[in-house]
Chains A and B, each alone.
Chain A
Amino acid sequence: MKYLLRKVMLYVFIAWAALTMNFLIPRLMPGDPVALLVERLSGRIDPAAMDAIAESYGLTDAPLHVQYWDYLTSLAAGDLGLSIGFFPVPVSEIVLGALPWTIGLVGITTVISFLIGTGLGVVLAWRRGSWTDHLLPALTFLNAVPYFWMALILVLILSVNLGWFPVSHAYEPGLVPGWDWEFISSVLYHGILPAITIILASFAGWVLSMRNMTVTVLGEDYVTMAEAKGLPKRMVLVNYAARNAILPSVTGFALSLGAVVGGSMLTEVIFNYPGVGYTLFEAVQNQDFPLMQGLFLIISLAVIAANLVADVVYVFLDPRTRQEG
Chain B
Amino acid sequence: MNLSRLVPASGKVRAGLIIAIFFVLMAVFGPMLTSYSPQASGTDLLQPPSGAHWLGTTQTGQDVFAQFVYGARVSLGVGLFAGIISQIVSVLVGVIGGYFRGLSDDLLYILTAVFLVVPGMPLLIVLTGYLPSRGMISVAFVIAITSWAGSARVLRAQTMSLRRREFVEAARATGESRTRIVFSEIMPNALPLIASGFLFSVIGAVLAEAGLSFLGLGSLTTTSWGSMLYFAQSAQAFLYGAWWWFVPPGLAIAVLGAGLALINFGIDEYSNPRLRTGKSRGRAVRTGGPQAAALSTAGAAAVASGVDSPGLASIPSEDGVNEVAGPEPSGSAAAAAQIRPIDVPGAPIIEVRNLKVDYPSIDQVVHAVDDVSITLHRGELLGLAGESGSGKSTLTNAITRLLRNPAQVTGGSITYHRAARARPGASSGADPGAAEAIDLLGLSSEELRGYRWDEIAIVFQSAMNALNAVTSVGAQFDDVLRVHRPTMPAREREALARTMLEKVGIDSDRVSAYPHELSGGMKQRVAIAIALVLEPDVIIMDEPTTALDLLIQREVLDQVMALRDEYGFAIIFTTHDLSLLLEVSDSIAVMQRGRLVEYGPALEVYAEPRHPYTQALLASLADMGALV
Contact = CB atoms under 8 A, between A and B. Distances in A.
B258 A244 contact: no
A18 interface: yes
Interface in B382-412: 400, 402, 404-405
A29 B119 CA distance: 19
A140 B258 contact: yes
Contacts of A10: 110, 113
Contact of B462 (A149, A218, A221): A221
A170 interface: no
26 contacts: A11-B117, A25-B126, A31-B131, A36-B132, A140-B262, A144-B258, A148-B210, A149-B251, A221-B460, A222-B469, A224-B460, A224-B466, A227-B452, A228-B452, A229-B479, A229-B530, A231-B449, A239-B471, A239-B479, A243-B471, A258-B117, A258-B120, A281-B125, A281-B215, A289-B129, A300-B123
Interface footprint category on B = 35 or more
Interface in A88-144: 128-129, 133, 136-137, 140-141, 143-144
Interface string B428-461: 0000000000000000000011111110011011
B328 interface: no
A165 B461 CA distance: 59
Interface in A237-277: 239-240, 243-244, 247, 254-255, 257-259, 261-263, 265-266, 269-270
Nearest to A301: B118
Contact of A222 (B113, B124, B239, B465): B465
B150 interface: yes
Interface string A180-211: 00000000000000000000000000000000
Ordered nearest first, which 4 A-B pairs have the shortest CB separation? A262-B121, A144-B257, A149-B250, A230-B452
Nearest to A216: B274
A84 interface: no
B211 A146 contact: yes
Interface in A31-76: 31-33, 36
Contacts of B529: none
A280 interface: yes
Contact of B132 (A11, A33, A258, A280): A33
Contact of B114 (A17, A225, A317): A17
A280 B217 CA distance: 12
Contact of A156 (B150, B241, B278, B462): B241
B457 A219 contact: no
Interface string B245-262: 011011101111110111
Interface of B: 12, 15, 110, 113-114, 116-127, 129-133, 150, 203, 207, 210-211, 214-217, 229, 232-233, 238-239, 241, 243, 246-247, 249-251, 253-258, 260-262, 265, 268, 272, 274-275, 277-278, 400, 402, 404-405, 448-454, 457-458, 460-462, 465-472, 479-480, 483-484, 514, 516-517, 527, 530
A225 B254 contact: no
Nearest to B133: A31
Contacts of A215: 274-275
Interface centre among B122, B275, B454, B461 (most CB of A within 10 A): B122
Interface string A155-192: 11000110000010000000000000000000000000
